């Protein structure tokens, strides 16, 4: 039995335990659809090749705003949507523009905590541009595990990570002014 079939069998069991009939027309293919979703979402191959270019004399803050995405809460397996803002100060090299959204996608396509994802994104950007530089990430997330259960409200959770030279107060203020 392959992985998709094994996951589908468990989903079928969950449906039965919830009092549903997994053989009825509307649910017959649901276990395989759910299995395929999790397999596709959690195994997205995102190239991690970090193309950089000589920046010459450019050493000012670079910010990529409004990177929208989805992830899955590792506590409830429910989705959360987010908007990420990522910035860095290059030290001789700049990242290819598409690399920052790829770094975000790489971390979003796993079972995740928003706090950990935010820190990991900033750390990957810092590693790509050089540890003498600075990197920052702010993630604003809406979690369905909060809005659909428990308190049943829809707050926005904001997490941030400031690393290297972007952890200095003046650099933080500049980054925050550009993403707001």
Query: Which residues are tagged catalytic?
Result: 73-76, 114, 143, 145
Exposure on the CB side of residue 72, measured as CA atoms within 13 A: 15
CA distance 112 to 87: 21
CA distance 49 to 128: 9
Task: List the structure tokens of 98.
Answer: 């598409």
Cβ–Cβ under 8 Å, residues 88 and 70: no
DSSP symbol at 165: G
């Amino acid at each position: 039995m392959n992985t998709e079939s094994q996951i589908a069998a468990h989903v079928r069991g969950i449906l039965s335990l919830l009092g549903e009939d997994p053989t009825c027309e509307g649910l017959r293919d649901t276990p395989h659809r759910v299995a395929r979703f999790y397999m596709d979402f959690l195994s997205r191959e995102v190239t991690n090749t970090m193309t950089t270019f000589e920046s010459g004399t450019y050493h000012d803050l670079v910010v990529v705003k409004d990177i929208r995405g989805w992830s899955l809460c590792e506590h409830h397996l429910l989705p959360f949507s987010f908007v990420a803002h990522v910035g860095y100060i290059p030290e001789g090299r700049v990242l290819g523009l598409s690399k920052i959204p790829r770094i975000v996608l790489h971390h979003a396509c796993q079972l995740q905590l928003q706090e950990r994802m935010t820190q990991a994104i900033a750390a990957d950007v810092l590693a790509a541009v050089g540890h003498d530089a600075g990197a920052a990430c702010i993630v604003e997330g809406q979690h369905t595990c909060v809005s659909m259960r428990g308190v049943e409200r829809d707050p926005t959770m904001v997490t941030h990570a400031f690393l290297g030279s972007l952890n200095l107060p003046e650099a933080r203020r500049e980054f925050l002014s550009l993403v707001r």
